[in-house]
């Protein structure tokens, strides 16, 4: 679990550095991110799901569209996080 939490924090750092807004305090393995406005966020999520880069779900947080990430696979590593964070940022661009 500690490893998953550390990877979630890495996700948050990478996404924030890329200009996305992380909506939650990352204390467990969950990251709630908003890479743009509602339309951009929904479009990015749709692209990511179509491309199959990683599975993530959409949600609404305080009335705004967001993407919910859960780091839970025992085999996930830093490279997976970096690759997926880049995919999220590219899908929102």
Give the integer Cα–Cα distance in Å for 23 and 62. 10
pLDDT of residue 52: 87
Query: What is the average per-residue pLDDT within 59-72?
Result: 95
pLDDT of residue 20: 97
pLDDT of residue 54: 82
List CB contacts of 20: < 8 A, sequence separation 6 or more: 33, 34, 35, 36, 88, 89, 92
For the segment 73-83, what is each residue's pLDDT rounded down to a tens digit?
889 999 999 99
For the segment 14-64, what is each residue's pLDDT rounded down to a tens digit?
999 999 999 999 999 999 999 999 999 999 999 999 998 788 999 999 999
Structure tokens at 12: 């948050």
pTM of the model: 0.91
pLDDT of residue 55: 85
Contact by Cβ (8 Å): 12, 20: no
């Amino acid at each position: 679990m500690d490893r998953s939490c550390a990877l979630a924090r890495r996700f948050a750092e990478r996404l924030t550095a890329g200009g996305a807004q992380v909506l939650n305090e990352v204390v467990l393995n969950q990251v709630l991110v908003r890479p743009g406005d509602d339309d951009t966020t929904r479009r990015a999520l749709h692209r990511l799901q179509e491309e199959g880069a990683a599975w993530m779900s959409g949600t609404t947080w305080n009335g705004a569209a967001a993407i919910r990430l859960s780091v839970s696979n025992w085999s996930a590593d830093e490279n997976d996080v970096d690759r997926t964070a880049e995919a999220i940022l590219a899908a929102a661009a």
